[in-house]
Amino acid sequence: MIPSKVSWGSTAVFAERDGTVPVVHFYINLLCGAELDPAGGSGLTRLGAQMLRMGTRGRSREQLNRAIEALGAELDVGTSHHRVTISGHVIRDNLDPLLDLVDEILNDPGMREEDFEKLRRETLADIVQVRDDDQSLAYRHFRSLLFGDHPYGRSTVGRHRDVSSLGWEDVEQVVGSVLRRAPVLIGLAGDFDEDHMRSRLQPMVERFSERTLALPATTEPASPRGVRVRLVDKPARTQSQIYMGHLGLRAGEETYFSTALLNTAFGGTFTARLSREVRQERGWSYGAYSRILRSKMRDAFYLWTFPAMEDMVDCMGLELGLLKGLRDDGLSKEEFDFARRYLDNHFLFAIETASLRVALALRQEVLELPGDFYARYRQNVRGVEHEEVQQAARSFVDPDNLCISALCTADKIRPALENLLGEDASIEVVPYDTDA
């Protein structure tokens, strides 16, 4: 059911036609991302990608936006650690006019220095605005603490000091030497004619990219040792935000599915063990979840809760105890059976439409997952045995080596936290407006 890869010359394509609704979705993936940002230059790749959306030589950004809206279409440019994506969807009758605009964006961009200055100001304002979002701020510091200098420790938007230091010449260079040399991956879904799309898209991307960029060798992040805590100090908080965790697994690892099932039972649903203990039994946090993130390299496994300040240290103590219990005792048979059924059934929502299936195929390719990762997903879930999950609990869960980021009013928390964690834990306090 997941589309297979075909080739248009040197460009890989995943396509699925579905004429149920006269709408076409397309995805042009440039296989480069924020992982290529230089030291001290976080946010550079995203700035370069966003410049493509700042207008063409014949249209300002405002004129470009009006032209897109007049078609009833959407056209976005996004940047992750491993790709830049130009994506859009439109009704079939307006497909060619939208593709004309995409061609302008790629092959006749404005690339005006004054537009860059405006984009940089907007980006800096976005970075500052995150300081008002306690959850996002705590999460950003968690990743910074867990991954350190690894690219996964940097937001794709960039650090304030880095974006401030980037100039027009830097952006011109990243567009010319990175974006215009990146390998290209295309996805198509909906009511389209493949021959027509090939005649439009293949020459378009061939004019844009030389596809000669050599991607860097994969460098796995290092796993921090011991319990390391960062208190993100923000005055007058009544509610905290806590992220706690360690490195996860690559999705291609042998124990991935047993570990994913373990996480589902522990904190992957609203009724899982973590939510039951934190929310239902004690009422400390409306939400309590755990996640294992999938990426090209080992990403994060984390717990997220947001208790009131007066409950914060007790909640952290409970979470630590739950992690130790998970490592030592694993799952009950009842928890295991529920989690396996849940993952098996819930995956159907991830492949419900052609556009979702194509997006999964693209993700599989970009993240270098096994070629049958999604095609065999339900089969792999059903094949997990209870004892495999128990073994995964013992080998994966590591409560003795954790990173914890907590947004709070630090002077009200630190003494009780030191008493909870003991002298072996490392605790640092940083102001909430610190770059992370």
CATH number of the CATH domain containing 272? 3.30.830.10
Are residue 174 and residue 274 in the same domain, yes or no? no
Within a domain: 49 = yes
Query: Of 181, 208, 235, which one is at a domain's C-terminal end?
Result: 208
Among 170-179, 208-217, 254-263, 285-294, the minimum mean pLDDT is found in: 208-217
What's the whole-number mean pLDDT along residues 227-236? 97
Same domain, 274 and 200: no
Q: Is residue 218 part of a domain?
A: no
222 within a domain of the structure (yes/no): no
The tokens describing 287, both together, are 């939400």
**Residue 29 near residue 184 (C-beta atoms within 8 A):** yes
For residues 271 and 164, membership in a common domain is answered with: no
Residue 406 vs residues 49, 231, 300, 312, 319: alpha-carbon distances, Å: 32, 5, 16, 9, 13
| Separation CA 139–CA 145 (nearest Å) | 10
Contacts of 27 (CB under 8 A, 6+ apart): 85, 86, 87, 186, 187, 188, 358, 359, 362
Residue 216 within a domain: no
Q: Compute how many other C-beta atoms are within 10 angstroms of the C-beta atom of residue 162.
A: 21
Per-residue H/E/C for 101-153: HHHHHHHCECCCHHHHHHHHHHHHHHHHHHCCCHHHHHHHHHHHHHHCCCHHH
Whether residue 119 is found in the same domain as residue 232: no
Q: Which of 208, 243, 271 is the last residue of a domain?
A: 208
Would you give the DSSP letter of residue 407?
A: E
Judged against a pLDDT cut of 90, whether residue 436 lies above it is answered with no
Identify whether 365 is part of a domain. yes
How large is the average pLDDT for residues 289-294?
96
Residues 314, 192 share a domain: no
pLDDT per position as a tens digit, 353-394? 999 999 999 999 999 999 999 999 999 999 999 999 999 999
67 in the same domain as 11:
yes
CA dist 55 and 113 (Å) reads 12
Mean pLDDT for the stretch of residues 259-279: 97
Q: What is the pLDDT of residues 394-434, one digit of tens each?
A: 999 999 999 999 999 999 999 999 999 998 899 999 999 99
CA distances from 281 to 266, 288, 313, 315 (A): 15, 12, 17, 12
Q: Are 194 and 278 found together in one domain?
A: no
DSSP-assigned letter for residue 276: I
pTM of the model: 0.94
Does residue 304 lie within any of the structural domains?
yes
Instruction: Please tell me whether residues 247 and 110 are part of one structural domain.
Output: no
Q: What is the pLDDT of residue 426?
A: 96
Do residues 354 and 253 both lie within one domain? yes
The helix/strand/coil state of 187 is strand
The model's pLDDT over 1-59, given as tens digits with 9 standing for 90+, comes to 899 999 999 899 999 999 999 999 999 999 999 999 999 999 999 999 999 999 999 99
What whole-number distance in Å separates Cα of residue 346 and Cα of residue 142? 28
Which structural domain range is residue 202 located in? 5-208
Judge whether 217 lies within some domain: no
Q: Is residue 175 part of a domain?
A: yes
234 DSSP assignment:
-
pLDDT value at residue 259: 98
pLDDT of residue 384: 98
